[in-house]
Amino acid sequence: MSKPIFTSPTIIRRDINNDIVSPSSPTNKQMSLLTSAMNSPDNAATLSFPKEKIKVLLLENIHSVAIQNFKDQGFNVESLSSALSEDQLIEKIKDVHVLGLRSKTKVTAKVLAEAKRLMAIGCFCIGTDQVDLPFAESRGVPVFNSPFCNSRSVEKKSAELMIAEIIVLSRKIGDRSREMHNKVWRKESKNCHEIRGKVLGIIGYGHIGSQLSVLAEAMGMNVVYYDTARKLPLGNSKACPDMKSLLEMSNYVTLHVPDTEQTRNMIGKDELAMMRSDAYLLNASRGKVVDIAALADALKGGRLAGAAVDVYPSEPEANCNDWENVLQGCPNTILTPHIGGSTEEAQEAIGSEVSELITCFINTGGSEGSVNFPEISIPVSEETHRILNIHHNKPGVLRDINLILSEFNVSSQILSTRKQIGYIIADVDKEASKEIKRKISALPHSIKTRVLY
């Protein structure tokens, strides 16, 4: 059952909004000594929650390092290699405490409504568009992701992939290779070019776009970019005032934006018509960003020199042998099965990072790294029990909570809020913790209350 908490003294800093902020996180040893207890309107247990009863469901072949990290904590882990459909997930999620997924599994409001015990979601990737983040927030479920680990392959690994594809397109390597496999020897230099001195236009100059900018300049390319946010131009890159000017001047246009209402179909027939006829389009962001029917028309009609596409409006839940897409058969077109983030290095780093963020949240309440949840983290103390409360962000909630806390000895307290919810951590006398939890849980705006014994 529960073990005591051994840690360093608690430090509290308040910011201008009277929120308390601390950068310190517990060590792995401290975390492994913690046992969580949980309580919610749906789960009114008041006893310490045994770690082996924490059920972790991992989907989409998440790296073994994450599985091991969760097992080391004593959690009960089930790992599946493919995504689940909405109906399958609704069936499975009922008794799950931690859900891990990658880009395929859609965590809709309908799924979340059935997730009565869910404490946290881990997106073991960069994008979080597959989760209904506001609904998860309203249910008090933090969502964690890995904003950096994935980047060199897409950013770093993806940026590396983009560099490879820029060269492959410029030399028509895809078509030549396919011909060779079909016994055709066709040596020619017509319409094959160096990338040195050419203009690379990057739409979305975030982690991946800016990494790619650095690599492309090192290869002798001239980089321009367009981003809706103000971004520091790296190296000699230059910001374009609008997307049109970028489309008109670039030899290569590459997309690195998230999937949002504003980015859906941001490249369609009109935008493709603005591009040079000897230009190439690359998309490793999200499938719905490009109108692929319009892209196929442009490629087949010779209004574009080629394309490299890694993501599609509709992708299968698992590997298959009958995938069909309108871009199949288009000239000088590289199609890859959403592998921008798929290197062993990136998957291991992501597996490690996201599982640690989730473990930290379960064991200490620390929510740093969450994309939809108030981010707080304070060291745990061996002298106290920790109350964690997630509540609807309504006027008077803090007063009600503090009224309860004022009856007891509180050694530290921290609150942070977002639009929908507030999150409070209070370290209290061991003797008082059960009583406080009961009273705070009963407040009308409480969503979830946990105690770390």
Q: Does 286 sit near ligand NAI (CB under 6 A)? A: yes
Q: In the complex, which residue's CB is closest to ligand NAI?
A: 206
- At position 302, the amino acid (one-letter code) is G
**Which 377-406 residues touch ligand NAI, going by CB under 6 A?**
none
- Active-site residue, 139 included: no
> What span, in angstroms and rounded, lies between the C-alpha atoms of 142 and 123?
11
Q: Does 126 sit near ligand HPV (CB under 6 A)? A: yes
- Active-site residue, 315 included: yes
Q: What SS3 class is residue 385?
A: strand
User: If you compute the radius of gyration of the chain from its CA atoms, what whole number of angstroms results?
Assistant: 25
| Residue whose CB is less far from ligand NAI, 60 or 227 | 227
The listed partner (ligand NAI, ligand HPV, none) that binds 205, CB under 5 to 8 Å by sort, is ligand NAI
| Residue whose CB is less far from ligand NAI, 260 or 328 | 260
> What span, in angstroms and rounded, lies between the C-alpha atoms of 319 and 334?
18
Q: Does 222 sit near ligand NAI (CB under 6 A)? A: no
Among candidates 197, 271, 210, which has minimal Cα distance to 237? 210
Give least dist CB 283 to ligand NAI, A: 9
Question: Which of these is catalytic: 286, 385, 391, 450?
Answer: 286
Q: Does 232 sit near ligand NAI (CB under 6 A)? A: no
Q: Does 258 sit near ligand NAI (CB under 6 A)? A: yes
Distance of CA 435 to the CA centre of its chain: 37
> What span, in angstroms and rounded, lies between the C-alpha atoms of 148 and 427?
32
> What span, in angstroms and rounded, lies between the C-alpha atoms of 144 and 361?
10
Number of residues that make up the chain? 453
Give least dist CB 413 to ligand NAI, A: 33
Q: Does 102 sit near ligand HPV (CB under 6 A)? A: yes
Give least dist CB 144 to ligand NAI, A: 15
**Under a CB-based contact definition with an 8 Å cutoff, are residues 210 and 234 in contact?**
yes
Q: Does 125 sit near ligand HPV (CB under 6 A)? A: yes
How many residues line the site for ligand HPV (CB under 6 A)? Answer: 11
The listed partner (ligand NAI, ligand HPV, none) that binds 209, CB under 5 to 8 Å by sort, is ligand NAI
Question: Which of these is catalytic: 63, 97, 176, 338?
Answer: 338
Stretch that binds ligand NAI, among 21-29, 37-45, 207-215, 387-395 (CB under 6 A): 207-215
> What span, in angstroms and rounded, lies between the C-alpha atoms of 89 and 125?
19
DSSP annotation of 52? G
Among candidates 208, 197, 300, which has minimal Cα distance to 255? 208
| Residue whose CB is less far from ligand NAI, 220 or 337 | 337
Q: Does 228 sit near ligand NAI (CB under 6 A)? A: yes
Residue from 34, 112, 154, 309 in contact with ligand NAI (CB under 6 A): 154
The listed partner (ligand NAI, ligand HPV, none) that binds 102, CB under 5 to 8 Å by sort, is ligand HPV
Per-residue tokens: 250: 């670039």
Which regions of 19-157 does DSSP assign to beta strands (E)?
36-39, 55-58, 76-79, 98-101, 120-123, 143-144, 151-153, 155-156
Q: Does 124 sit near ligand NAI (CB under 6 A)? A: no
Residue from 143, 203, 304, 447 in contact with ligand NAI (CB under 6 A): 203
Write the CB contacts of 96 (distance below 8 Å, at least 6 apart in sequence).
Answer: 55, 56, 57, 115, 117, 118
The listed partner (ligand NAI, ligand HPV, none) that binds 310, CB under 5 to 8 Å by sort, is ligand NAI
Look at the block and give the residue holding tokens 């990072």: 353
Per-residue tokens: 435: 């009583």
**Which 327-346 residues touch ligand HPV, going by CB under 6 A?**
338, 340-342
Burial track 107-123 (b if 16+ CB lie within 10 A, e otherwise): beeebbeebebbbbbbb
Q: Does 208 sit near ligand NAI (CB under 6 A)? A: yes
Question: Which of these is catalytic: 315, 317, 348, 383?
Answer: 315
Give least dist CB 283 to ligand HPV, A: 12
Which regions of 191-248 does DSSP assign to beta strands (E)?
199-203, 222-226, 238-239
- Active-site residue numbers? 286, 315, 338
Where does this chain bind ligand NAI (CB under 6 A)? 126-127, 147, 150-151, 154-155, 158, 203-209, 226-229, 256-260, 262-263, 284-286, 310-311, 338, 340-341
